[in-house]
């Protein structure tokens, strides 16, 4: 099997239909641009679970990542797995208040990392890999954007831009090194969409889509220069508009080559495909 250098850039929450509507050319003008199946056997479409499925090739029952963040308490983590049921999610606010009242119970949340995963990721299986702030795997920066958000939306946007620029720099530096697999995660489209929905300013979402378009163009140019054979852009879910609710099935992927033929892939199919492309062996051994 021939070895092939693979670059994966994930744009959180970028919507398949909105990408086309807003003319995000760098993402649509690829050999392949289509929507894929992002259902994971759960009723919610939550970022951490989706990226865990992408990097492990497994569903939540196997990789163990569920919901948004991980409760610090082991007991609450087990109880909150009921989040997969709508009737449980309905009372989330009240529940969290009650948890806070229970003495000796650590009711805080933390971000998921690789220690929480029960399945191997592609990063351990590819000879030389680099993951940059990949959800459910590593935390590129330990910064809580929600706190500035409570005070001032523009302050949160400023911080988000600072973190996005740092990540972009990390990505460009890593692309210049001799890795077989580089994956970087950009959360900005998802954050902006959620934040600006509330104040009803879709023009900020549009501006961010065009910003990602420009970044994708720069990434493609650099990837060609650095000799990446496969360039894959991907999102975990879509976000249409405030009236039609939250995360949806409009996830997209675009690639400079055909990956799955006529078959529409499932989110768990990318893992094996990336191992195949990089000439790494697939393995079902759990960690």
| Residue ranges binding Zn ion (CB under 5 A) | 12-13, 47, 190, 236
Comparing CB distances to Zn ion, the nearer of 231 and 251 is 251
Least separation in angstroms between CB 188 and Zn ion: 11
Chain centroid to Cα 89, Å, comes to 22
In angstroms, what is the minimal distance from the CB of 128 to Zn ion? 27
Q: Which is nearer to Zn ion, 47 or 174 (CB)?
A: 47
Nearest residue (CB) to Zn ion, 51 versus 123:
51
Minimum CB–partner distance for residue 63 and Zn ion (Å): 16
Are 149 and 200 a contacting pair, CB within 8 Å?
Answer: no
Residue with smallest beta-carbon separation from Zn ion? 47
Structure tokens at 276: 């195949």
The distance between the two most distant Cα atoms of the chain, rounded to a whole number of Å, is: 58
Q: Which is nearer to Zn ion, 249 or 276 (CB)?
A: 249
Beta carbons within 8 Å of 137's beta carbon, 6+ residues apart: 51, 52, 55, 113, 114, 117, 121, 123, 131
CA atoms within 13 A on the CB side of 111: 16
List Cβ neighbours of 115 (8 Å cut-off, separation of 6 or more): none
Report the residue number, 24 or 126, with the smaller CB distance to Zn ion. Answer: 24
d(CA 65, CA 281): 24
Report the C-alpha gap between 70 and 108 in whole angstroms. 9
- Nearest approach, Cβ of residue 45 and Zn ion (Å): 8
Length of the chain: 287
| Shortest Cβ 47–Zn ion spacing (Å) | 3
In the bound state with Zn ion, the residue whose beta carbon lies nearer, of 81 and 194, is 194
C-alpha–C-alpha distance, residues 35 and 23, integer Å: 16
CB 84 within 8 A of CB 66: yes
Query: How far apart are CB 143 and Zn ion at their closest, in Å?
Result: 18
């Amino acid at each position: 099997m021939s070895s092939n250098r693979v670059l994966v850039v994930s744009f959180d929450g970028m919507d398949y239909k909105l990408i086309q509507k807003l003319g995000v050319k760098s993402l649509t003008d690829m050999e392949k641009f289509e929507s894929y199946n992002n259902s994971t056997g759960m009723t919610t479409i939550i970022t951490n679970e989706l990226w865990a499925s992408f990097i492990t090739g497994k569903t939540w029952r196997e990789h163990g990542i569920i919901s948004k963040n991980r409760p610090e308490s082991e007991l609450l983590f087990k109880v909150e797995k009921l989040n997969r049921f709508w009737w449980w999610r309905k009372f989330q606010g009240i529940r969290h208040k009650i948890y806070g009242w229970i003495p000796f119970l650590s009711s805080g949340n933390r971000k998921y990392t690789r220690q929480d995963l029960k399945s191997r990721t592609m990063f351990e299986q590819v000879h030389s890999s680099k993951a940059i702030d990949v959800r459910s795997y590593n935390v590129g920066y330990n910064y809580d954007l929600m706190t500035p958000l409570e005070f001032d939306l523009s302050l949160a946007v400023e911080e988000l831009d600072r973190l996005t620029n740092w990540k972009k720099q990390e990505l460009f530096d890593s692309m210049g090194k001799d890795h077989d697999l580089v994956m970087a995660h950009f959360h900005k489209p998802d954050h902006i969409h959620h934040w600006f929905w509330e104040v009803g300013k879709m023009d900020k979402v549009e501006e961010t889509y065009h910003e990602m378009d420009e970044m994708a163009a720069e990434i493609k140019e650099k990837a060609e220069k650095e000799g990446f054979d496969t360039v894959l852009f991907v999102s975990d879910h879509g976000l249409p508009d405030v009236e039609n609710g939250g995360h949806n099935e409009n996830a997209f992927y675009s690639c400079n080559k055909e990956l799955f033929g006529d078959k529409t892939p499932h989110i768990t199919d990318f893992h094996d495909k990336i191992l195949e492309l990089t000439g790494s062996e697939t393995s079902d051994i759990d960690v």
